[in-house]
Homo-oligomer: A and B are copies of this chain.
Amino acid sequence: MRTLKYAILGLLNQKEMTGYDLMKQFESTLCEFWSAKHSQIYPELKKLTEEGSVAYKTEPSDNGAEKKIYHITEEGRRDFIDWLSSETKPQPTPKDISRLKIFFCNCLPAEDRKFLLEDQLHKHSSRLKHLRNNQTKFTAVPDSEADEFGDYLVLMGAIMREEMVIEWLRKCLALLG
């Protein structure tokens, strides 16, 4: 489905950047709903260049070495907008090892079962704390035309997701008695 392609095009549509910058974006902002390692990004950029969706200029980096600054082409931008407006088919399964374990939890002795759920509870609680801290960086809801608007929406979604998971785990623990 070439989703990585569109994630990259979307970012380059916001501003020109290097493969390294893209990697940083995936690690920070997009990490709540997409990820990509540099070993996937660089080959994809090469492919996108060949296909004419992006182009780059070579510049010396802050240190001596060369770096490639990529920007989206008109063709790439059209392709990206087409994808963005196209229908999103219902996705298969967000695979979740933790839920898989909880599904099978009746096989464990009561103590281990409790530990499994409480461990998840701790992990999601600290994750939520971290996300709420990120949210303080927004002093107001960004304008709906600004690039930060999407940031704000998905951060809100991530916070709500963590709150929901925590509530679910608490209910599960309660049912164990």
A105 vs B149: C-alpha distance when bound (angstroms): 8
Residues of B within 8 A of A13 (CB): 104, 107
Please state the number of chain copies in the assembly: 2
A104 vs B156: C-alpha distance when bound (angstroms): 15
Identify which of residues 124-177 in chain A touch chain B, using a CB-to-CB cut-off of 8 Å.
127, 141, 144-147, 149-151, 153-154, 156-157, 160-161, 163-165, 167-168, 171-172, 175-177
Q: Tell me, rounded to whole Å, the shortest Cβ–Cβ distance linking A95 to chain B.
A: 6
Are the C-beta atoms of B94 and A96 separated by less than 8 Å? Answer: yes
Are the C-beta atoms of B150 and A102 separated by less than 8 Å? Answer: yes
Q: List residues of A whose CB falls within 8 A of some B CB.
A: 1, 3, 6-7, 10, 13, 30-35, 80-81, 84-85, 87-88, 90-108, 110, 112-113, 116, 119-120, 123, 127, 141, 144-147, 149-151, 153-154, 156-157, 160-161, 163-165, 167-168, 171-172, 175-177
